[in-house]
Amino acid sequence: MSIESQIKALREELREHNYNYYVLDNPTIADFEFDMKLKQLQELEDQYPEYYDPNSPTLRVGGEVTKNFETVTHDYRMYSLDNSYSKEDLLDWEKRIEKIVDGKVEFVCELKYDGASISLTYENGTLLRAVTRGDGTQGDDVTTNVKTIKSVPLQLKGNYPERFDIRGEIVLPYDGFHKMNEERLAAGEEPYRNPRNTASGSLKLQDSAEVAKRPLECLLYSMKGRDLGFETQFEGLDKARQMGFKVPEASKLATSVDEVLEFVEYWDVHRHDLPYETDGVVIKVNNLQQQEELGYTAKAPRWAMAYKFKAEQVSTRLNEITYQVGRTGAITPVANLEPVELAGTTVKRASLHNADQIKKLDVRVGDEVYVEKGGEIIPKIIAVDFSKRPADSKPTEYITHCPECQTELIRQEGDAKHYCPNENGCKPQIIGRIQHFISRKAMDIEGLGGETVALLVNEGLIQNYSDLYVLTKEDVLPLERMAEKSAENLINGIEASKQIPFERVLFALGIRYVGETVAKKLAKHYKSIEALSQAPIDDLVSVDEIGDSIAESVVQFFQSEEHRGIVSRLKDYGLQLKLSEETLANQTDKLKGLSIVVSGVFESVSRTELKKLIEDNGGKVSSSISSKTNYLVAGDKMGPSKRTKAESLNIPIITENDFLELIK
């Protein structure tokens, strides 16, 4: 088989596996096997760039950065939907329809997915562009980001119209949403409020590699175009499925408003079993000919109607407002409620978010409040029943001092939250930081749990995480429920954590905004805590993906004498505060500060290897030539336009051997 057919066959095979996995939720090979095949394809593509295909499965991992999203005009306007709330509304709608069209009217009922609407344009079977709804007439071109969503086919299957738009909703399933929030909390960041906003926010991220990491899904519901080859909406859904799109199976045909209501009632209950958020049902006239006769109002089609599920709501009494202090010192007001049943669980607490929210709702202790459970994990208070407000009620005064340590709270400009600045003397902050330090993704200390940390702090045995390393078995034995064996395990676990690699220690330190990924980037770039602690802001922001707030937070962390003392103790105890010899052996600074573009095919190394060599030697691999490029490493079959551009900008063009000399 020729190389070209080999590459094509692999792409075809991987596409099919992607489809089975992400669209049908029914994988037929093991993840590992899939990864191996993907790797094999990646290597072939690196070696033979002449067979480049913008729709290759290897490009799903993203990497392209969009600075400004281009505005594009939709071929077909994206309308809004009219809303209905009752059987009467639906019967009225049916009457209006029957006045306009002749013959029997059939309806399709679909779920109303709650995410970010998207319009995908396909031409000759490949994805041409993906555009947000915007104002309905024009939206933003977010193609690079949407291409990373695995359930969006880059290449269609079977028969497809030459050019058409397909509409859908990009959603973030609950599982992925919760996982993202766990990671944010671990990095000391505010969790995202709900899946919908997170999904639409994701589409506008500049770095598509970041989008690729988010488990977004694209659910499709309608096609627009000429000569589509079907006559009803219901057939259209099926056609879309056959082309490889993810179209949920829940849709149903109905011949009367009563049947529509059956669908609504069924899903009002069963939607809670779906992996993603829905906020209602969309009912559409099935026959496309009839749809055309009905046409549009200024805002919405006359042939479709949304029926919103009632968000589950109850009212109950607000007994008390308490304030929680997080590990970063952030204060969160919590409403303590008279326990009440809501959507199958007993609700006792609701988040009030911050001082502004309390003011906006004018919520007071003693009020009867309405509580709603939406996509959020914690229910929220949406309004106060003012008619039931006690006569002697007083406006809520937000606390001015920390409920735990009585320090005066601060609130920075532009920040909705109040903070307790007493980071070294405020118990929940002390305990929270140590709990983060020992957590699984950080130091992963076996035999030590969150409760024991609290005990150790409360007993005065430790003040900060470096104190863990001087604990003895005798120290911990007197603790509640601590037996000989568990004390031993605890001490051994702490000892073993001294082998945890530098990037995880860096994450464990709990520097604000330094999550797992950022910690890895910083460790790789600075190689030791020494170098990192001395880096000024402008040097930090020059590191790939490190922005202003991260840089400021790192500098602030190391400015504190206290922190420097703790870090120096950790070093004395033998923790890994620099990259290991082994990692370092393959790294130099020879290309420090250089931006290098690689193009063409090479003899002694693959393109991937070449890029790794650049990074390991401190250089930066860049994908396009600009005045900031220092070298262009040119291999065989390099594109002529790259050469011309490099020449016009006077950028040195070097060979593979020249390059290898550079790093020798």
List residues with catalytic annotation.
112
| Identity of the residue numbered 175 | D
By CB under 5 A, residue 422 contacts Zn ion: yes
Per partner kind, with CB cut-offs from 5 to 8 A, the member of ligand AMP, Zn ion, none near residue 426 is Zn ion
Per CB under 6 A, residues contacting ligand AMP are: 80-81, 110, 112-113, 117, 133, 169, 221, 282, 306
Per partner kind, with CB cut-offs from 5 to 8 A, the member of Zn ion, ligand AMP, none near residue 133 is ligand AMP
In terms of CB distance, is 120 or 597 closer to ligand AMP? 120
Across 483-594, the runs of DSSP E, i.e. the strands, are none
In terms of CB distance, is 80 or 407 closer to Zn ion? 407
Q: Which of 420, 456, 519, 550 touches Zn ion (CB under 5 A)?
A: 420
Per partner kind, with CB cut-offs from 5 to 8 A, the member of Zn ion, ligand AMP, none near residue 221 is ligand AMP
Q: Which of 404, 423, 616, 656 touches Zn ion (CB under 5 A)?
A: 404
In terms of CB distance, is 280 or 379 closer to ligand AMP? 280
By CB under 5 A, residue 409 contacts Zn ion: no
In a 3-state reduction of DSSP, which class is residue 410?
A: strand
Phi and psi (nearest 5°) for 84? Answer: -130, 155
Per partner kind, with CB cut-offs from 5 to 8 A, the member of Zn ion, ligand AMP, none near residue 422 is Zn ion
Cα(first)–Cα(last) distance of the chain, in Å? 38
Per partner kind, with CB cut-offs from 5 to 8 A, the member of Zn ion, ligand AMP, none near residue 404 is Zn ion
In terms of CB distance, is 282 or 646 closer to ligand AMP? 282
Per partner kind, with CB cut-offs from 5 to 8 A, the member of ligand AMP, Zn ion, none near residue 233 is none
- Using alpha carbons, select from 150, 189, 155, 154 the residue that is nearest to residue 173: 150
Please give the residue whose beta carbon sits closest to ligand AMP in the complex: 117
Least distance in angstroms from the C-beta of 193 to Zn ion? 25
Per partner kind, with CB cut-offs from 5 to 8 A, the member of Zn ion, ligand AMP, none near residue 110 is ligand AMP
How many helices and strands, by DSSP H and E, does the chain display? 25, 20
| Identity of the residue numbered 485 | K
Helices 31-47 & 3-18, crossing angle to 10 degrees? Answer: 150
Least distance in angstroms from the C-beta of 79 to ligand AMP? 7
In terms of CB distance, is 233 or 629 closer to ligand AMP? 233
CA 269 to centroid of chain Cα atoms? 28
Counting other chains too, the contacts that 534-540 makes at CB distance below 8 Å and 24 or more residues apart are: 534/558
By CB under 5 A, residue 108 contacts Zn ion: no
Phi and psi (nearest 5°) for 620? Answer: -120, 130
Per partner kind, with CB cut-offs from 5 to 8 A, the member of ligand AMP, Zn ion, none near residue 113 is ligand AMP
Cα separation, 186 vs 188, in Å, equals 5
In terms of CB distance, is 57 or 195 closer to ligand AMP? 195
- Give the DSSP letter string of 93-137: HHHHHHHHS-S---EEEEEEE-SEEEEEEEETTEEEEEEE-TTSS
Least distance in angstroms from the C-beta of 151 to ligand AMP? 15
In terms of CB distance, is 34 or 307 closer to ligand AMP? 307
Least distance in angstroms from the C-beta of 22 to ligand AMP? 19
By CB under 5 A, residue 156 contacts Zn ion: no
**Do 231 and 289 contact (CB within 8 A), yes or no?**
yes
In terms of CB distance, is 202 or 452 closer to ligand AMP? 202
Least distance in angstroms from the C-beta of 409 to Zn ion? 8
Per partner kind, with CB cut-offs from 5 to 8 A, the member of ligand AMP, Zn ion, none near residue 402 is Zn ion
Q: Residues in the chain, how many?
A: 664
By CB under 5 A, residue 328 contacts Zn ion: no
Cα separation, 238 vs 243, in Å, equals 9
Cα separation, 410 vs 331, in Å, equals 10
Cα separation, 277 vs 111, in Å, equals 10
In terms of CB distance, is 402 or 494 closer to Zn ion? 402
Least distance in angstroms from the C-beta of 428 to Zn ion? 7
Least distance in angstroms from the C-beta of 576 to Zn ion? 32
Cα separation, 161 vs 434, in Å, equals 59
Least distance in angstroms from the C-beta of 307 to ligand AMP? 11
Cα–Cα distances in Å, from 429 out to 166, 264, 329, 422, 424? 50, 47, 6, 9, 8
- Using alpha carbons, select from 553, 521, 572 the residue that is nearest to residue 423: 553
By CB under 5 A, residue 402 contacts Zn ion: yes
Q: Which stretch binds Zn ion (CB under 5 A): 50-58, 406-414, 483-491, 522-530?
A: 406-414
Cα separation, 198 vs 398, in Å, equals 29
**What is the total count of residues that contact Zn ion (CB under 5 A)?**
7
653-654 sheet: strands from edge to edge:
620-622, 595-599, 631-634, 653-654
User: 512 has which bridge partners?
Assistant: none
Least distance in angstroms from the C-beta of 420 to Zn ion? 3
**Do 301 and 294 contact (CB within 8 A), yes or no?**
yes
In a 3-state reduction of DSSP, which class is residue 285?
A: strand
By CB under 5 A, residue 405 contacts Zn ion: yes
> Could you list the residues that contact Zn ion (CB under 5 A)?
402, 404-405, 407, 420, 422, 426
